[in-house]
Structures are given as structure tokens and as C-alpha cells.
Structure 1
Amino acid sequence: MCLAIPMQIESIDGFTARCAAKGVWRDVSLFMMQDAPPEVGDFVMVHVGYAIQKVTEADARSAWELLDQILEENGA
């Protein structure tokens, strides 16, 4: 199964964004979003180190809640 995780962009340097989600930070490639470049503060779905699409803050929070629920139910 492949998952994309919503993260918020904190800074951008070229095609690399520093993103955060739930206390975890990652450097994420923006290369796949050249046609619609995100900005600092935007929420993006991150899959294997690449931002693949923008999402709303509400959608990001809903995804985090669902992922937390899955982890809780599986004893992780």
C-alpha cells in the first residue's frame, strides 16, 4: 500500500521545501509541482519525498485524524 502524508511547507529553497507534520520535519522535493508551485504555508501531500499536490488545511487535518485512528486501532 502506498500512502501520501499531508505536510505544511515551512520554507522553500529552489525545488526543495522544508515541511512539517505532527512534530516531524522532512526536506521534500517540489520538482513534480513545477506547473503549480506551492508557497510557504501551503499544505501538500508528500509521497516518497515528493510533494504531489496541494490540499486544504481542513483536508490535511482530516487525513491526520484518520491516520491517527488507524494507528490507534492497530496498536501502533
Structure 2
Amino acid sequence: MCLALPSRVVELLDDDQAKVDLGGVTKAISLSLVEDVAVGDYVIVHVGYALTKVDPAEAEKTLALFAEMAAMGASA
């Protein structure tokens, strides 16, 4: 089973690479499987590859839900 969260593209790099941010953690990933990615787009990342672009509103909702779950777990 895999859990993939939307990650925001913060920088486009050479050779179909990009830097993404997920909650303050940045990582270089490959964009070779996805076309037309721009800074500010959200992508689903698995094992270092962007698999698909995600609608920004849906990405924000998903990230908000995970933040809420994390806050509930911390308060328990």
C-alpha cells in the first residue's frame, strides 16, 4: 500500500527534475512522467517521480485533512 500526498512544485530544475515542498520538507523529483508542470502546481509523488498533476483546490483540501488528522493524533 502506498500513501501519496500532493506536493507543491517550488522550482524547476534541469533534466526533467523539480524541487517540491511538502510541509516544509523539500525534495528533488523527476517530472519525466508528467507534462506541462509549472512552479506552483501540485503533483502526486511516488518513489521520486511525479505521477500526475492535482487540482490546487483538491490538493489544499487533502493537505488540510491530513493536518487535521495529525493535530487530532497529537492531542490524543
* 1:2 counterpart SS class: coil
Gapped regions of structure 2 (runs ≥ 5): none
Gapped regions of structure 1 (runs ≥ 5): none
Q: What is the CA deviation profile of residues 21-46 of structure 1, one whole-angstrom value per residue up to 9, with x for unaligned ones?
A: 2211011111111xx23112211111
- Tell me which amino acid in the other structure corresponds to 2:63: W
Distance in 2, Cα, partners of 1:18 & 1:7:
10
1:14 Cα shift?
A: 2.2
Count how many residue pairs are aligned between Structure 1 and Structure 2. Answer: 74
Q: Which runs of 4+ in 1 moved over 6 A?
A: none
The two structures have a TM-score, normalised by structure 2, of 0.79
Percent identity of equivalent pairs: 36
Q: Given the alignment of the two structures, is residue 64 of structure 1 paired with residue 52 of structure 2, yes or no?
A: no
- Tell me which amino acid in the other structure corresponds to 2:6: P
Matches within 5 A, 1:1-76: 1-12=1-12, 13-33=14-34, 36-75=35-74
Distance in 1, Cα, partners of 2:70 & 2:10:
26
1:70 Cα shift?
A: 3.2
* 2:38 counterpart SS class: coil
Distance in 2, Cα, partners of 1:48 & 1:3:
11
